[in-house]
Structure 1
Amino acid sequence: MSRVLAASSAGLSDVLAPHLSVVFCGLNPATSAVRDGHNFSSPSNRFWRVLHFSGFTPCLLRADQERQILEYGCGVTAFVSRATKSAAELRPQDYASAAPEFERKIGAFQPARLAFLGNSAFVSLFQTQRFEWGRQAVKFGGAEVWVLPNPSGLNRSFPLQRLVEEYTRLRASYE
């Protein structure tokens, strides 16, 4: 059995193990998630529903069951460790200063796929404005890179069904 390792992100634990099929990378922890002690804990965040509806988990997990996603080959981390109420509060220097540690972490855990939730971290890391949702033509830390819409409840430009479609494309890529 793989040794499970966890790092701390602003008091919020990453849910990681070596060689996962996919690591979902949020932009940064929400202050509510840090307060609750679990990733994607806001009732308005659609992450856990999207994972279930797109086939990553056989049942709908709650944020306090987050470690169970390891059983399904998935993990969770954040690009920037600074917690904010909204990712819009992040500054360019937050992304720049987070990049070296993030690269070390991904290299250490060696997931097959890294899925950025939202485009901000991807755009900052790869210094590009050009991308389409889905698989990218680059790798990071040896991982295939995907960019998926952010499931935050603040991101209402993507209805639940559209989120599920995009995440299902990732899931179908390695079934």
Structure 2
Amino acid sequence: MAGSLEDILAKDLAVIFCGINPALSAAVAGHHFVRRSNRFWRVIHLAGFTPQEISPENDRTILTYRCGLTAVVARATARADELSTRDFAAAAAQFERKIRRYAPRFVAFLGKAAYSALSGQRQIDWGSQAAAFGGAATWVLPNPSGRNRAFSLDQLVRAYRELHQAVDRG
């Protein structure tokens, strides 16, 4: 069984996108956001982060566009709701050190669950957050998972485009 998925990170990126944890399918394939139903690659393209849609097999090319990928909890699961608060607590210090070490301008949490667990906040708005995380400006974006049907493709693109515009302003 797969355990985790390798980060795609470099120093001084514009944005590190932080998933909750890797899907088992991604860990087995060795590539981020590998499921066809996951809208991440399409959304970041339509929001302006990449000039074309990246295929999961070419996920490392995201570095070309000053973006990186990681997960708050490294352990792969079939569904994110299989994680416990203990999983997040165990990952918190190491995850914050990782963000400080790579020093992105922005850290973008894909979904409220991981940011809530790390920050201790229960009420979280979408978008820019008041507090920095690991020295980076913090954003919370809707999770692009195919399981997240609360957000249409257009709504996802609008939310991610706001972050892209903040990156461009900075």
TM-score with structure 1 length normalisation? Answer: 0.93
- Where does residue 75 of structure 1 map in the other structure? 68
Q: In the alignment, which residue of structure 2 is the partner of 1:85?
A: 78
- How many angstroms apart in 1 are the aligned matches of 2:33 and 2:118? 22
Instruction: Note if contact 2:4-2:76 (Cα within 8 Å) is conserved in structure 1.
Output: no
What is the correspondence of 1:2-151 to structure 2 with a 5 Å cutoff? 10-151=3-144
Deviating beyond 2 angstroms after TM superposition, the runs of 4 or more aligned structure 1 residues are none
Distance 1:173 1:33 in 2: 29
Cα distance in 2 for residues equivalent to 1:140 and 1:56:
21
RMSD: 1.0
The AA in structure 2 aligned to 1:70 is L
Deviations 1:93-115 (A, max 9, x none): 00000001101111110000000
Alpha-carbon deviation of 1:141? 1.1
- Extract unaligned runs of 5+ from structure 2: none
**SS of structure 2 residue aligned to 1:83:** coil
Partner deviation per Cα, 1:68-114 (whole Å, 9 max, x = no partner): 11110100000001111110111010000000110111111000000
| Aligned-pair CA distance for 1:13 | 1.0
- Secondary structure at 1:49 match in 2: helix
Paired residues, number: 167
Provide, for residues 46-83 of structure 1, a one-character-per-residue CA deviation record: whole Å limited to 9, x for no partner: 00000100000000100111111111010000000111
- 1:5 corresponds in structure 2 to none
Distance 1:21 1:10 in 2: 28
Distance 2:150 2:110 in 1: 14
Matched to 2:95, the amino acid is F
Aligned equivalents of 2:153, 2:112: Cα separation in 1: 18
Normalized per residue, the structure richer in strand is 1
Q: 1:145-170 CA deviation, whole Å, 9 max, x = no partner?
A: 00000000000011111000000000
Q: Distance in 2 between matches of 1:50 and 1:62?
A: 12
User: What secondary structure does 1:76 align onto?
Assistant: strand
State how 1:154-169 maps to structure 2 within 5 Å.
Answer: 154-169=147-162
Gaps of 5+ in 1: 1-8
